[in-house]
Every structure is written in C-alpha cells, then in structure tokens.
C-alpha cells in the first residue's frame, strides 16, 4: 500500500501589508523538515496597517500562494496565522495576590496596560512565576475587530484557523532554541529558572513596522515599536537621490550601510535614521535594566525580518550598543540542510547602470548582490512550528 508522507501539520501563514509568506513543516523520522515555502508580494492598498481593505484581492492572493508555492507543496487546510504586530499587545505584568479569583484580578489589571477597552479586546494570560505576594503573568491582547476580520478571511479562503497568534510569539519560537520542547537549555513547560539562560533583545525589521521584543527565561517580557521600516528607508533614498521607488529599493539592498558601496552615499542618507534607531534601542535597554534587573543584562540582540539584511547594521549596532548583535538564524529549530535552503532562499538584486547617478564619483559597473532571504520567513516558520511543538509535548 502507498503511504503518503504529506504533512498534516497546519500551514504557517504570515499576512503582512505588502506580502504573504507561507511555510509548512513536516516531521520525518524525528526531524523537522520544510515541506512548502513561499512568498508573494501584495500590491499596496490590499491591507493597510494590518486592516484588510480589499478582501477579494487578498483571498485571490491567499489561494494563489497555497496552490502554487515557490518550493514544495501544501497539504493541509489548517492554518496558523498571525495578527498584525502593530495592533496587538503582549507584556509580562505583576499582579498582587488576593482572595479574589486570579481571572477576575487580571481582568481588572489588563485595562491598565492595554490601550483599549476591555469589551473591545480578546485577551489571554498565563502565570509565569509565583512570587511570595504576587504573580508574574504574561498577558496578550488583540482588538476583537481585527481578530474577527482575520478569522472571517481564513474562513472565506476555505482554510481552517488552528490559531491566530501574536507575532512576537511566533518569531521567538522560530529563533530561540529555548522555545523547542527538546531544548537542552531550559525544559519547556517547566518553570524556567531566572538567570539560567540568556536574555535576548529581538528586533524584527519589516517593510512597514519594526518592533523590539525582550525575552528572558522562556518568556516575552515586553515589546517596543522602533522608528525604522523598510518602506521608509526606501522612500528616503528616493527623495534624496531622485530615484524611482524600484531603483531606491535596489540601491538600499545592494549598498546598505556599507561605506565602500557607491562611496557610502546610501549610508550617509540613512545616518539620521540609524542614529534614531540606536537611541530608541538604548532607551528600551534602559527600561529593561530598570524593571527587570534581577534577570541580569541582555546578552544578545538578534535581528530578523527582511530589513535585518541591510548590510553592516549588525556591526554598527554592536559597536554603538557594546553588545553582541547578529543576524538571526531562521532555521534554528528546523533540521534542514542549510546549503540546500541557501539555494531556495537566494535572491538576486541588480541595479541598472542608468541608475548609476547613485555612484557618480566611482562609476562602479556592477551594482549587484545575492542575498539569503531566510530572515524574511522568521514569523512564518514560527507559526508553522506551533503544531509540531504542541505535538512533541
Ligand atoms: N538587504 C536589504 N537591505 C535593506 N532592506 C532589505 C534588504 N532585504 C530586504 N529588505 C527589506 O525588507 C523588507 C521586507 O521585510 P519583511 O518581509 O520582513 O517585511 P514584512 O513582514 O512584509 O513587513 P511588516 O512585518 O512590516 O508587515 C522590505 O522593506 C525590503 O526592502
Ligand atoms: Mg513581518
């Protein structure tokens, strides 16, 4: 009899304003493998700031990415999707112990932390630590209106939503070995010992939105919005150099923050943006040190999201923050052959010589680059890992 090896795990679907990303994983002889992977750019206006504006077009795009992924084949109608990061909320709070039921106390506390009325949100919570007189509780919240929009969308796409997640939960699951059930560092499900593992800052630099999350001892602590986005950077280059959006996008990817490319023209244009980013990260680190001192210092900053590919950003941040900063590894919790997937993730970018006004001084001939786009898939891989990790528990 022919036994199919097709995965029955839910698809991870990252729905962003300007792109859809899809990953389906499978477990084969105990190893987590990528069965399908794809990315589809969305025209502007279909989703705006996380709100669905043109559902028919979005449905078409979802059907297309599922029917014909760039790699492999999709074999499930179940989906784990994420809610738009800018619309959701996740934070570790402390609640005083009292004779009242914890659920009632949290209901009362949540409004102090979430900038929305209690009857307008769905929320969830989990006790992280039982301290003498209080509990540390991780709370997550999202506007009902957005959750309902995304649930209906998946329904109309004939998909069955296994879960809608808050995005940082997904990218932590993708990037941190601590999140894996078989992690050697901290046992999943057990109370992680504060100070036992590393403390991380993770910065997701997207096309529209960037956020930094703080993570320690198996929990997210808080998230902060950052003043940088891929689209903003491209627009700035376009404005200063009077290039088209397409040329500016390529100039950004090819030159990045590299002084040797195009005489450092792009780096110079982005100087102020990078300085603002550094300032905001320093403020976030100071907040962490103020409120979470007993967890010890942040040991590492990981960069993810497509914008993390901007060349030299890791080095500049590392120097300015005096911290280890590195591009994250989207395959941390997947047992794939990196060389094989380097080919799948490879993207080539080249800039036509017409746009070489950019480099009037050097007259560089070959403005082109090949880059590994795996960090763009961190959220989608994290979403796809959910089903596998639950299964392993
Ligand atoms: N080498 C590079 N240098 C700078 N930016 C890059 C590079 N490669 C990709 N990007 C940028 O990454 C962005 C896309 O990243 P990503 O796919 O993570 O965004 P997104 O998830 O669609 O957006 P968001 O999360 O904000 O909704 C684009 O703005 C793109 O220009
Ligand atoms: Mg994103």
Within 8 A by CB and 6+ apart from 52, the residues are 46, 58, 149, 150, 153
Q: With left for phi above 0 and alpha for psi between -120 and 50, is residue 305 left, alpha or beta?
A: left
Percent of the chain with pLDDT over 90: 78
Please write the tens of the pLDDT for every residue from 255-270. Answer: 999 998 888 899 999 9
119-123, 159-163, 190-194: the lowest-pLDDT one: 190-194
CATH of 89-141, one of 3.90.1640.10, 3.30.40.230, 3.30.1490.300, 2.60.40.10: 3.30.1490.300
Q: Which residues lie across from 360 on neighbouring strands?
A: none
Residue ranges of the domains in the chain? 11-84+145-189+376-392, 89-141, 225-374
Percent of the chain with pLDDT over 70: 92
- Residue reference for tokens 């962490």: 288
Instruction: Domain 225-374: give its CATH code.
Output: 3.30.420.40
Ligand nearest to the CA of 255: 1
Within 8 A by CB and 6+ apart from 268, the residues are none
Sheet containing strand 219-226, edge to edge, reads 219-226, 210-216, 199-205, 300-304, 324-327
Q: Which residues lie across from 91 on neighbouring strands?
A: 139
Domain 11-84+145-189+376-392 bears CATH identifier 3.40.50.300: no
Where residue 292 falls among pLDDT bands split at 50, 70, 90?
very high
DSSP one-letter string for 242-307: T--HHHHHHHHHHHTT-TTGGGGHHHHHTHHHHHHHHHHHHHHHHHHHHH-GGG----EEEEESGG
Buried b (16+ CB within 10 A) or exposed e, 275-287: eebeebbeebbee
Please write the tens of the pLDDT for every residue from 162-207. Answer: 999 999 999 999 999 999 997 754 443 445 566 668 999 999 999 9
11-84+145-189+376-392 matches 225-374 in fold = yes
Looking at residue 186, what is its pLDDT?
A: 41
Q: Nearest-CA neighbor of 76 among 24, 13, 4?
A: 24
Please write the tens of the pLDDT for every residue from 303-347. Answer: 999 999 999 999 999 999 999 999 999 999 999 988 888 888 888
Ligand nearest to the CA of 208: 1
What are 381's two structure tokens?
């891989």
User: In this structure, what is the dihedral angle of CA atoms 319, 320, 323, 329, given to the nearest 10 degrees?
Assistant: -70
What residues line ligand 1, using a CB cutoff of 6 Å?
16-19, 206-209, 230-231, 249, 252-253, 256, 305-307, 309-310, 371, 376
Ligand nearest to the CA of 312: 1
Helices and strands in the chain: count of H runs, count of E runs: 11, 18
Q: What is the DSSP letter of 6?
A: -
| Distance between Cα 186 and ligand 2 center (Å) | 27
Please write the tens of the pLDDT for every residue from 345-374. Answer: 888 988 865 555 555 555 555 678 899 999
Please write the tens of the pLDDT for every residue from 56-107. Answer: 999 999 999 999 999 999 999 999 999 999 999 999 999 999 888 888 899 8
What are 46's two structure tokens?
């279909």
Mean pLDDT, residues 6-17: 97
DSSP one-letter string for 301-367: EEEESGGGGSTTHHHHHHHHHTSEEEE--TTTTS---HHHHHHHHEEEEE--GGGGGGGTTT--S--
Looking at residue 188, what is its pLDDT?
A: 39
> Does the pLDDT value for residue 38 go beyond 60?
yes
| Distance between Cα 375 and ligand 2 center (Å) | 10
- What are the C-alpha distances in Å from 43 to residues 22, 46, 57, 68? 17, 6, 9, 18
**In a mutational test of the pocket of ligand 1, which residue from 230, 231, 243, 267 has the highest number of ligand atoms less than 8 Å from its CB?**
230
pTM of the model: 0.94
């Amino acid at each position: 009899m022919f036994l199919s090896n097709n995965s029955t795990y839910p698809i991870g679907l990252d729905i962003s304003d300007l792109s859809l990303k899809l990953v389906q994983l499978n477990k084969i002889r105990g190893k987590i493998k990528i069965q399908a992977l794809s990315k589809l750019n969305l025209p502007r206006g279909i989703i705006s700031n996380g709100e669905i504006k043109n559902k028919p077009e979005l449905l078409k795009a979802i059907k297309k990415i599922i029917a014909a992924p760039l790699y492999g084949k999709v074999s499930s109608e179940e989906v784990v999707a994420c809610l738009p990061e800018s619309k959701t909320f996740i934070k570790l709070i402390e609640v005083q112990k009292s004779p009242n039921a914890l659920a009632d106390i949290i209901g009362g506390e949540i409004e102090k932390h979430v900038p929305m009325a209690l009857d307008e949100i769905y929320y969830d919570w989990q006790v992280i630590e039982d301290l003498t007189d209080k509990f540390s509780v991780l709370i997550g919240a999202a506007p009902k209106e957005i959750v309902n929009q995304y649930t209906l969308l998946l329904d109309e796409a004939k998909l069955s939503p296994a879960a809608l997640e808050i995005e940082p939960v997904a990218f932590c699951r993708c990037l941190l070995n601590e999140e894996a059930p078989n992690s050697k560092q901290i046992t999943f499900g057990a109370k992680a010992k504060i100070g036992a593992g590393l403390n991380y800052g993770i910065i997701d630099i997207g096309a529209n939105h960037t956020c930094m999350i703080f993570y320690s001892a198996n929990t997210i602590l808080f998230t902060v919005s950052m003043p940088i986005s891929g689209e903003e950077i491209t627009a700035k280059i376009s404005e200063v150099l009077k290039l088209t959006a397409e040329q500016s996008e390529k100039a950004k990817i090819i030159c990045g923050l590299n002084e040797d490319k195009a005489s450092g023209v792009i780096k110079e244009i982005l100087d102020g943006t990078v300085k603002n980013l550094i300032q905001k990260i320093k403020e976030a680190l100071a907040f962490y040190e103020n409120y979470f001192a007993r967890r010890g210092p942040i040991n590492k900053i990981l960069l993810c999201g497509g914008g993390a590919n901007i060349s030299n950003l890791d080095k500049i941040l590392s120097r300015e923050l005096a911290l280890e900063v590195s591009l994250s590894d989207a395959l941390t919790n997947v047992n794939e052959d990196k060389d094989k997937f380097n080919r799948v993730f490879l993207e080539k970018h080249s800039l036509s010589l017409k746009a070489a006004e950019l480099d009037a001084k050097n007259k560089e001939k070959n403005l082109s680059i090949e880059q590994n786009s795996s960090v763009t898939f961190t959220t989608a891989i994290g979403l796809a890992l959910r089903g596998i990790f639950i299964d392993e528990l």
